[in-house]
Structure 1
């Protein structure tokens, strides 16, 4: 029973009773409750009662999130996480989320004192690979790593990942080199998301098990096209990438695909160093080294049921693909957005209509400044009659 300075006993309040009732819950339910909390808050739960003292040590979920808001410096964060993982019991992990300390070079943020929240040292990334290895070693099923940096991404060179238990992988601001995108040793991986990542000297991204693949704001190689081999894909999102647009291999199970290319990709005419021969016959203007079928995207997308293709001005890979346009035997809905409204667009639209026998819905999302009349849009269709 708690006492005041005068030695008088205090009666337990309703809050204390509530804590006692919570402490009486089964361990499994307590772990489930803690799984929603950031790791720092989960550890602080030990002050609630003696029953809670060690509950956090057996939680199957570890979330190191909002790190820059909770810690004075990356050194303090590193000390906490290392201590957390050292004291944690050898319990298998279900989820591991890691958000690194946010840091920006002092040359960008002026007036920030040395050792402040914004710094350009290596400290925020010092132990990240080690923590990832810890999670993999404890059979983590869901792994999310978000690097909060403008200029210094995390370099993962010692991969590929190897896990018999990993089902979901999410990476942000990570550099993946050479074999780092070979996920053949992750046989149950189904969800793969990469944002603001860079692929260096990566010739192939491969996974026989991935069903949902999302690549956003990533940088592919500028010397050659990366090949994406994922025969089990059901959903594909490829948006706002730089470098050469990747080559898509056959995806027989694909249902929904969305591809959006902007002016930063190497397929933009303004990024063509050697000139555009307009035939797609040379490596410099098309980037496909061999094979009679030189399709970059459309061959891999040909089994989709729902397809959205968006391209900024000057992006020509879709139009070149039309030269070897495959048959979209399952395609029911098609969205074309942002294409140049010229004779090439008419030709592309005509080819789509010719090669999509069961197409039910066609949507043309045209910007106002490049608006076409309904007569101009329908004129190619009349040629089919």
Structure 2
């Protein structure tokens, strides 16, 4: 006889605690804690959560008076204290805190909570803090040997006048593989401590940081990201194991790529922020083995530095995909021609032109797709390049010229042409 299953009862509450805590780990911690009011069965379930995600930015503060804002802040601080006093001291898999710190009392409570989180030995640690005043991270964060992934952001109202937020006494993170730092002062001493104290570090991302570095050197890094950083002087990047490099800079203080033999993917963007550099920019020699290159420069001063680097351009024998963005033929003709000349195995080409700075004749001359192999005179002349393997060309240029450009390029090559 078939057994009749009762579907009217509370079947979820009958699940084992490990399953319930696993389910609760997928929702914000504040919501998970609220389950304690469901019934006696749920009172202690949240205290064994392997994940703590605390995001004060999910609370809407717009339109609140100062008094109402302070009451919300006090409520959140009490919530943090409640977790410290009531949660079981079991290992954490993930700890994330995203919060705005205002007063000194708030600073003290947040630091205590961070120390508590470190005592639970998390595998993933993410701390994003906005502060209107000086804030110091607990030193215990930098000696937590369980951490494998870490993201630390310390943002003030004025990121260019902070005073070295990151200055631990020592760093010992033997299992850390991924590190992201945001809105921090970084000098050579700190970078040396990070590299030596993180012996298996594979990925490093520096975002909105003030770089007072002369060198980033590592034999174990395989991915390096520099995003919207302010560079104070010339810097050398020497990472023979790096496979992927991304540089998006708002200020160029001089960058030299050295010992980048493993580099396969490079995305380099220099934004025009009205700043200039008196330093050398030596990038091309470090790109000899790349298979994919994206290069976008909107600052004429930086373009002048790259043009001076053209004699150092190697043969890009492995380059299959090339994207040149922000092209302005008042500045970029020689650089574009140089890169095309040195990329005989290129398959995919993307050209993004500045509006009203290029003529159809210039584009067709740059893309001199001769049906036969160009002569040495043509090749040395700077307008022809070998294209036996070229499969696709994508072009973005002023709208009124799109049709004519496509006709010109179609005439010169059998590669698939598309207009962006």
TM-score by length of 1: 0.71
Structure 1 residue 139 and structure 2 residue 146: aligned?
A: yes
Alignment length (residue pairs) = 324
Deviation at 1:188, TM superposition (A): 3.2
CA distance 1:78–1:26, shift in 2 (3 Å):
same
Kindly provide the CA deviation profile for residues 107-163 of structure 1, in whole angstroms up to 9, marking residues without a partner as x: xxxxxxxxxxxx9743xx64x612x83485261323233445432567112266431
Q: Which of 308, 316, 325 is residue 337 of structure 1 equivalent to?
A: 325
Please give the root-mean-square deviation of Cα atoms over the aligned residues, in Å.
3.5
User: What is aligned with 1:258?
Assistant: 267
Is 1:243–1:265's contact at 8 Å kept on the other side of the alignment? no
Matches within 5 A, 1:287-326: 296-314=282-300, 315-316=302-303, 317-326=305-314
Q: Please report how far the alpha carbon of residue 77 of structure 1 lies from its aligned counterpart in structure 2 after TM superposition.
A: 4.6
**What is the Cα deviation at residue 46 of structure 1?**
3.0
Deviations 1:230-272 (A, max 9, x none): 3322222211332414333323332222110012385xxxx25
Of 157, 170, 173 in structure 2, the residue corresponding to residue 150 of structure 1 is 157
User: 1:88-103 maps to which residues of 2 (within 5 A)?
Assistant: 88-101=87-100
SS in 2 for 1:228: strand
1:62 aligns with 2:52: yes
Write the distance in 2 (CA, Å) between the matches of 1:94 and 1:216: 28
Mapped pair 1:129 → 2:137: yes
* Higher RCO (C-alpha under 8 Å, 6+ residues apart): 1
Higher strand share: 2
- In the superposition, the TM-score normalised over structure 2's length comes to 0.66
Correspondence for 1:198 = 210
SS in 2 for 1:217: strand
8 Å Cα contact 1:313/1:340 also seen in 2: no
Residue 376 of structure 1 corresponds to which residue in structure 2? 365
Structure 1 runs not aligned, ≥5 long: 1-12, 104-118, 273-283, 287-294
The one of 234, 245, 253 aligned to 1:244: 253
Displacement of 1:357: 3.0
Shift of 1:354: 3.2
Once the two structures are superposed, residues 33-88 of structure 1 have per-residue CA deviations (whole angstroms, 9 ceiling, x without a partner) of 23333333333333334444344443332222244727845665555446535654
